[in-house]
Amino acid sequence: MKLLLARTWRWALAATAVLGAVAIGAALRSGGPERPKMAALVDLAPASVRRLVVDAGGRQAELTHDDRGWSADPGTAAPSAALVVSAERQLFPMLAYRVLAADPADPQYGLAEPAAVVRLQNREGRQFGVRFGAATFSGAGFYARQDGDAGRLFLVPRNTVDLLRSLTTGERTSSADPLSSRAGRYEAEQQEARQAKEVPVYLRQVIDRGGQMPPPAP
């Protein structure tokens, strides 16, 4: 009986090892666990963008994209073309780390007087307009909306807005933000989650409904 039990255990361990090896192999072939898919504020691949216009801080950049690459239109800083070449895969598709059901007309989101306005045209001639408003309560990103998309707000990482602002000057700049050194979309989402845990439950409920954090006590 003991011999039979011993053999049974050996077969069970062997089978577990084989199954584990198969599972590991499958994970390696698939590249490991997949990161969660992010929402697209503007779902355009870099090659699909024909024209990009950015208005921010009283400055404007107009750039054209054709088979030869990106070029700066008259009145746009020449280095902006090289800058968008290096940053196009960070900008397109334009992704958001969170989507909220909220009224874009609410002044607390800053979309009535946006920090930046972007106009895009794809190769088929379709136009896209995007407004970037106020910073989120944690400072990790900005509220944004696409023209014609009523009832939804997108939280876009701060580095996306920094890149767009940089195109208006031709110089790569970043705003003062604790995430700027990491400049990651997923890091922005994690920062939002950490901040939310530190907020009292009653206040977090207000924030989830679109409210803002109160200013720190003097």
Q: pLDDT tens digits for 72-101?
A: 999 999 999 999 999 999 999 999 999 999
- Cα–Cα distance measured from residue 142 to residue 148, given in angstroms and rounded to the nearest whole number: 19
- Cα–Cα distance measured from residue 166 to residue 104, given in angstroms and rounded to the nearest whole number: 25
- Does pTM top 0.75 for this prediction? no
- What are the residue ranges spanned by the domains of the chain? 39-208
The answer to whether 160 and 144 have CB atoms below 8 angstroms apart is no
The total of other beta-carbon atoms located within 10 Å of residue 183's CB is 17
- Residue count of the chain, please give it: 218
Residue 19 has what pLDDT? 41
Residue 138 has what pLDDT? 84
* pLDDT < 50 stretches in the chain: 2-6, 8-9, 12-35, 177-185, 197-199, 201-202, 204-208, 215-218
Helices (H), the chain: 2-29, 79-91, 158-167, 185-198, 201-208
User: Is residue 16 classed exposed, middle or buried when 0-12, 13-18 and 19+ CB atoms within 10 A define those classes?
Assistant: exposed
Residue 157 has what pLDDT? 94
Using the 8-state DSSP alphabet, how is residue 213 labeled? Answer: P
Reduce the DSSP state of residue 122 to 3 states and report it: strand
Residue 27 has what pLDDT? 42
Using the 8-state DSSP alphabet, how is residue 78 labeled? Answer: T
Residue 139 has what pLDDT? 86
